Every structure is written in C-alpha cells, then in structure tokens.
Chain A
Amino acid sequence: MIALKNLSYRVENRPLFEHFDLQVAPKERLVILGPSGAGKSTLLRLIAGFVLPQSGEIVLDGQTVSQGNKMLVEPHQRGVGMLFQDLALWPHLDVGGNIAFGLKIQKIQWEVRQQKVEKMLAMVGLQGYETRKVDTLSGGEQQRVALARALALSPKIMLMDEPLSSLDAERNKALRKEIIRLQEEMGFTLVYVTHSQEEADEIGTRELLLGQ
C-alpha cells in the first residue's frame, strides 16, 4: 500500500502540494491526470525518493520511507520500479545489459541473471533481443525494454510517468493492454501518470485529478 500523509512540497516557494493525502491500495491501478505543472511527475518522484517533501510522511508497504525532509529509506530499497517518460535506456549498454543492470548490482549469479533477462524479454515479447543496441530499436520496442528493465527486480510498486506519450495511437493501444496484463500477472501496485483521458479510462481502476 502507498500512503502519503499530510504532505507539503514547495518548488522555489511555490506550493505544489499542501497537506496532501493519498492512499493507494495494493494491486490497485491508480491513474493520475492533470494539467502540466500540476505536480503529477513530482508525485511519482516523491514516492520514488528522488525528491523529499518539506513535511509529511510517505509510507510504502507499511514502512515509513520518508518523514518530513528526512530520507528514511533510500530509493533502491523502497521496492519501487519506474518507467520514465524518456525511458532512460542507457545507450552504452545493450538490451540485455539494460535489463540485467539491477540484477548485476545485486550480485546475482550470471546464469540466474541470464534466465531472468530471457524471462523478462519473453514477457514483453522481445525474445532474442539481448544483444541489440537500444538505439536500433523502434519506439515501441524501446518502451518494452524499459518495461522489462523496470520489472526485472520484481517491484511491488510500479510508477509510470507518461510512458506511452511518444507512441502512435496503434502502438499506444497495444502497450496499454500489455501493461494491464503484466500488472495482473505480477500483481504490483501501479501509479500511472498521463494526459490522456482515454489511457486513464482503460488502464486505471481509479483516477485522481491533480491541479483542481
């Protein structure tokens, strides 16, 4: 479960969140909508731990991860995966290298790592892509690699920051279904940021409108 309690966050003295409360149930798919500058991406970054609020508490899976501006749990220990808007695929690593990065950091054995990479690629429909350079892939394929990388560490919470905004309508639709299938299969809690009402209606089990 995700719980944001009495959260306040200011950017250059402009309040973005004031006494903000939010609860997301386990395995829920919460979609956050709102105009630019409403704080949608910031909300994800607060949950991930990339930024700290000025006050308030963030609780993930029963554990308080930040209290006021104190970081109690580092981002990589929060059990959070994230799909970035620009995908953030590392260009100096191939597809396999991108997916295996976190596993390598956790010193997981090579054979186990390879199996996991193959499993993740199969899951997103990209078998045999391990050695491909990420910049040779299409937009949709890159999206799938980023998804596979984010899921490789089996996060309990998945944050997605407008991940489909750069895709054409057809690919966008196909990947929406893919995300729902993966979420149901792996059982993670999803917080999904988008501008599109259509995306929100299809993916979300609940919608939150920010900036109103």
Chain B
Amino acid sequence: MSEKQLSYGVIALVALLGLGPIAYMVGSTFFDSSGFTVSGYTRLLEDAVFWKHAANSFVLALTVASAAILSGLFLALLLTKTHLYMRYLFLLVLLVPLLIPPYILAYGWYALLGREGLLGGLLFGFWGSAFVLYSVYLPIPLFITALFLRKVDAGLEEAGLLVCNWRCVLRGITVPLLAPSLGLSFLLVFILSISELSVPQFLHYDTFVIESFTQFSAFYDFKTATVYAMPLVIIVFAVLWGMQGLLSKTRYRVSSHKKMLMITLGKMRWMLFLGVVLFVAVIVGLPLAGLVMQSTLSSFIHAVSEALPVISSTLIYGAMGATLLTLFGFLSAHIIVYRTTRLWSLFEKSVLLIFMLSSTVIGIGLILFWNHPATNIVYATAVIILIGYLVKYLLLTTEISALSLRQIPASFIESAQLSGASWSQRLLLIILPLAKESLLLAWGVGFIFVLRESTITMLVAPPGETTLSVYILTQMANGAPAHIASLCLIMLTLVLLPLALLIYRLKKGTLYDRT
C-alpha cells in the first residue's frame, strides 16, 4: 500500500463515518414520503417555543463566552506572565472542570446548595447553568491565551516599556496582540456552551439542544429532532468561518524570537495569590466538596459494587476508544503535516467541523445513517458507540500528534529517505519512535474524553450497552443523593487517575523532549 492510498483510505473512512451521517441528516430534513419539502423548517420558524429556546441558548452561550474570555485573559496573564506562587498548580487545577463530565459540577453545586433558598433558587435556571458552564469552559480561553502569550515578541513589549508602565503596555500592546486568540476562544466557548446538553437539562434551563434531544428520546420524532438540530450545524459553519479569519490574522501579529517578558507583581503578589486561591476554591473546590459531603463511605462502597459491571465496560470502551483515536489521530496528523494528498486542508477542516458539532447532532446523524437492516452489524452493536467517539474527538488526538510531528525536523525524514527507507519504513522507524511520547499523551486525552462523553452514548448505545457517564445521568433522575454523589466521585477518580499519570510523565520531562 502506498502512502497516498493509505491517506485516501483514512480520509474516505473519516468522511464516511463523520461527514456521511451529517450530510445524510441534513438531506433527510428536506424529504418526506411525498418528496422534497421544507415543511419541517416552516414549522420550526413558526414555532414560538423554538424562538424562546433559541433566545435562551444564545443568551446563555454569550454570557458564558464573555465571562470566560474576560477572566481567562486576566488569569492567563497572572498565571503565565508573572511569578505568582504555585501558578502551575493553579493552571492544573483549573483544567480539571474541563476534563470531568460537566454534569458532575452541576450535581456538586446541587449537593452543596440544594434547591431551596436564594442560592439554590439561582442554581436552577439561567444563572446556575451559566455559572457551571463558565467553570467548565474557562480553561479554554485560559490555556489558548497562555499559549499565545508565550508567542508575543518580547521586543514589542520592551519597546513599549521604554515609554510607559506595564499596565499601559498590557492595554496598548500585549492584549491587542492577543485579540485573535481571544476571538478564537470566544467562538470555541460559545459553540461548546450552546451545544451543551447535560448541564442545562439538569438545571432546568430550556435550550434548543434539549428540545431536539427531547423530540428524539421522548417522542421518537426524528424529523423534528433533526430540524431542531439544524441551527447548530449552521452556527458551527459560521463559527468555523470566523475562526478561519482569526487564525489567518495571528500569523503576522505574533512571533517568538525572545524569551517571554515577565511582570513583577511587587506588593500585590500576596493579595493576588489569595485571590486566586479563593477563586480556585470556589470554581473547583466547592462543587467537589459538595460531592464528598453528600457521599458516605458505605454509599461509596455500595456504588462501586453496584456499578462494577458498568465501570468495567466504561474502562473497556475508554481503552478501545482511546486506541482508535490515537491510531487515527496519528494517521490524520501524518496526512495534515506532511500533506500526503491534495485533500489535506479539506480533511483538516472536516475534522474540526465534526468536533465542533454538538454530540446531539452527531448522535442523531449516526442513528439516521446506520439504522437500516443492512447496517445492523454497526447499529445494533457497540461499534456505533466507538464510531461516535472516534468522529467526535478525532480533532484532539490529531492535533496532539500533529504538534509532535511538526517538531520532527524535515532533515530527519529526508535523511532516512536517502538511506532508502520507504514511506512506511520512515513512518515506522523514524516518525513513530520520535512521536511515541505524544501518542501516549493522545491516548490519555482520548481516554479522558471518551470517559466524560455521555450524549452520543445515550443516543446511540444499543440495548444492554451503557457507560458510567450515562448510568450516572440516569441515576440523577431518580437515584438516592448519596449514591449519585458516590458515582460522581468514582467518575472523578477514573478521569483524574490517567491525568495524574500523564502529569507524572510530563514532569519527568520526557514528553516533547527533542534534541
């Protein structure tokens, strides 16, 4: 098999598994038994409930994205550009909400505040949903901005410092240079918030994603569910277009020639440190403390023994999903970085598009596409769940592998080429060993994201198949509070354990250690 054939094979498979269902879903909304029709859309546009839910969704996503960008920028400056005590630990802890299923945070707050009183009342509805989603997606602007901050040319800031102080340099030079990264983060948080199902569903805030899910799961009305999901597809296309523009602007606005300039905090250091401690305690500590408080040792042991079969199957799904994601992520990165076919750019955009589509859209697409007698071997088995994981999270493992492949000098590969190594020998003997640490990272990230996934599994899982994530969501409807809190803690352990192992590897300095 040639390099081109393998590349086209991977592209064709991703197109079939990821784009096929979406295209089929979009197409299906325009046809019924009588032929071509737009009646579904006419009904949707005339539906006052839809407009109310759409407005709710927009307001929620706008609020979350705006709050996350503002605080993400401030925290990124504080935790990357100053010598604040324990700044790396803070960065790490603030990452946790993004890695655990969002509904765990929502349930943690519920365990802490309950439903009554001023705070309990605020939790259920817009403010609670916005706050929980804010804490979940805050790491996105925080980490993207931190990454871009490292690329801002120190010379530009030094030139500014000759005429004014740091505050004015940040306002007039650094932050404007970061504008594309802030825009990018805003779009990402916006799209993820508007697509989120479990948090607004648990906290009783109606959005059109919930409506689409309800039409499907409660009324089995595929048509309406699909039509309700279509605005999300359109929004994703619009956001992708916006991101494309922002990414192209970053190329000439930032560069990295000198070491990053650090800001001295002086007397403010302790005050800011305490402020961050308090912030982290509220955002991460309190909801997790709520879970610990509600759980008891006996309920925890009971939950472990009762959910043991589900935990086992979750770990198996996690391992299988992560392995598939790592393999396809590596092959996809190979296509994108080495441009092995002319379709590399289109392929890269397609992987991004599928990642940005909500899990509800992907789930409904997979069902419509595969639910036929001829394809029952996929639809009626666990294969469909794995396909869902693969297409949804392929972007993450592709980007991790691509980052690593881009660090391998072209001369390493050219040198092997001159030695007579075929493309497969170059891939197996040079590229793979050099990228092996990143593959481990990709596997770990894939494992965590497969574990935290719930919507696709809920939608496509055949009878008898479930994961801990879905099991917890089911229990949240009518289970005993201590039992649910214990299940959430088990999930937390499952997600944080591989994270701790990955950090241990990172600390050993082996990841991305290149000569």
Please report A residues at the B interface, Cβ cutoff 8 Å.
48, 50, 75-77, 80-82, 84-88, 90-92, 101-102, 105-106, 134-135, 149-150, 153
Subset of 16 A-B contacts with CB under 8 Å: A48-B414, A50-B414, A75-B414, A75-B417, A84-B414, A88-B415, A90-B412, A90-B430, A92-B433, A92-B434, A101-B419, A102-B420, A102-B421, A106-B420, A134-B515, A153-B420
Q: Nearest chain A CB to B342's CB is how many angstroms away? A: 15
How many angstroms from the CA of A145 to the CA of B421 in the assembled complex? 19
Q: Nearest chain B CB to A58's CB is how many angstroms away? A: 15
How many angstroms from the CA of A106 to the CA of B418 in the assembled complex? 12
How many angstroms from the CA of A82 to the CA of B415 in the assembled complex? 7
When distances are taken between beta carbons in the complex, the residues of chain A under 8 Å from B35 are none
Report the nearest A residue to B426, measured CB to CB.
A105
Which residues of B146-189 are within 8 A (CB) of A? none
How many angstroms from the CA of A92 to the CA of B428 in the assembled complex? 12
Q: B515 to A135, Cβ gap below 8 A?
A: yes
Which residues of B402-416 are within 8 A (CB) of A? 409, 411-412, 414-416
How many angstroms from the CA of A88 to the CA of B430 in the assembled complex? 11
When distances are taken between beta carbons in the complex, the residues of chain B under 8 Å from A90 are 412, 415-416, 430, 434
How many angstroms from the CA of A86 to the CA of B413 in the assembled complex? 12
Q: A82 to B414, Cβ gap below 8 A?
A: yes
Of A75, A101, A135, A149, most buried by chain B (CB within 10 Å of CB) is A101
Residue of A50, A76, A86 touching B419 (CB-CB under 8 A): A76
Interface of B is mostly: helix
When distances are taken between beta carbons in the complex, the residues of chain B under 8 Å from A101 are 416, 419, 421, 429
Per-residue interface assignment for chain B, residues 443 to 462, with 1 indicating a CB less than 8 Å from any chain A CB and 0 otherwise = 00000000000000000000
Please report B residues at the A interface, Cβ cutoff 8 Å.
409, 411-412, 414-421, 425, 429-430, 433-434, 514-515
How many angstroms from the CA of A81 to the CA of B420 in the assembled complex? 11
How many angstroms from the CA of A76 to the CA of B414 in the assembled complex? 10
Q: Nearest chain A CB to B37's CB is how many angstroms away? A: 49
How many angstroms from the CA of A86 to the CA of B434 in the assembled complex? 16
How many angstroms from the CA of A153 to the CA of B417 in the assembled complex? 13
Q: Nearest chain A CB to B404's CB is how many angstroms away? A: 13
Q: Nearest chain B CB to A107's CB is how many angstroms away? A: 10
Q: A76 to B415, Cβ gap below 8 A?
A: no
Known contacts A50-B414, A105-B425; 14 further A-B pairs (Cβ under 8 A): A76-B420, A76-B421, A84-B411, A84-B415, A85-B411, A90-B415, A91-B434, A91-B514, A102-B418, A102-B421, A105-B419, A149-B419, A150-B418, A153-B420
When distances are taken between beta carbons in the complex, the residues of chain B under 8 Å from A81 are 418
When distances are taken between beta carbons in the complex, the residues of chain B under 8 Å from A153 are 419-420
When distances are taken between beta carbons in the complex, the residues of chain A under 8 Å from B434 are 90-92
How many angstroms from the CA of A179 to the CA of B316 in the assembled complex? 57
When distances are taken between beta carbons in the complex, the residues of chain A under 8 Å from B414 are 48, 50, 75, 82, 84, 88
When distances are taken between beta carbons in the complex, the residues of chain B under 8 Å from A106 are 420
How many angstroms from the CA of A126 to the CA of B434 in the assembled complex? 25
Q: Nearest chain A CB to B489's CB is how many angstroms away? A: 41
Residue of A75, A82, A88 touching B412 (CB-CB under 8 A): A88
Report the nearest B residue to A142, measured CB to CB.
B515
Report the nearest A residue to B430, measured CB to CB.
A90
Given A91-B514, A92-B433, A105-B425, A76 and B417 contact (CB-CB distance below 8 Å): yes
Q: B411 to A88, Cβ gap below 8 A?
A: yes
Q: A82 to B418, Cβ gap below 8 A?
A: yes
When distances are taken between beta carbons in the complex, the residues of chain B under 8 Å from A80 are 418
Given A86-B409, A86-B411, A88-B415, A105 and B433 contact (CB-CB distance below 8 Å): no
Q: Nearest chain B CB to A155's CB is how many angstroms away? A: 8
How many angstroms from the CA of A48 to the CA of B434 in the assembled complex? 24
How many angstroms from the CA of A111 to the CA of B515 in the assembled complex? 30
Q: Nearest chain B CB to A149's CB is how many angstroms away? A: 8
Report the nearest B residue to A45, measured CB to CB.
B414
Report the nearest B residue to A84, measured CB to CB.
B411
Q: B418 to A76, Cβ gap below 8 A?
A: yes
How many angstroms from the CA of A8 to the CA of B75 in the assembled complex? 53
How many angstroms from the CA of A150 to the CA of B515 in the assembled complex? 20
How many angstroms from the CA of A134 to the CA of B415 in the assembled complex? 15
When distances are taken between beta carbons in the complex, the residues of chain A under 8 Å from B514 are 91
How many angstroms from the CA of A87 to the CA of B411 in the assembled complex? 8
Q: Nearest chain A CB to B34's CB is how many angstroms away? A: 54
When distances are taken between beta carbons in the complex, the residues of chain B under 8 Å from A86 are 409, 411
How many angstroms from the CA of A150 to the CA of B415 in the assembled complex? 8
Q: A91 to B515, Cβ gap below 8 A?
A: yes
How many angstroms from the CA of A105 to the CA of B425 in the assembled complex? 8
Q: Nearest chain A CB to B410's CB is how many angstroms away? A: 8
Report the nearest B residue to A134, measured CB to CB.
B515
Q: Nearest chain B CB to A40's CB is how many angstroms away? A: 15
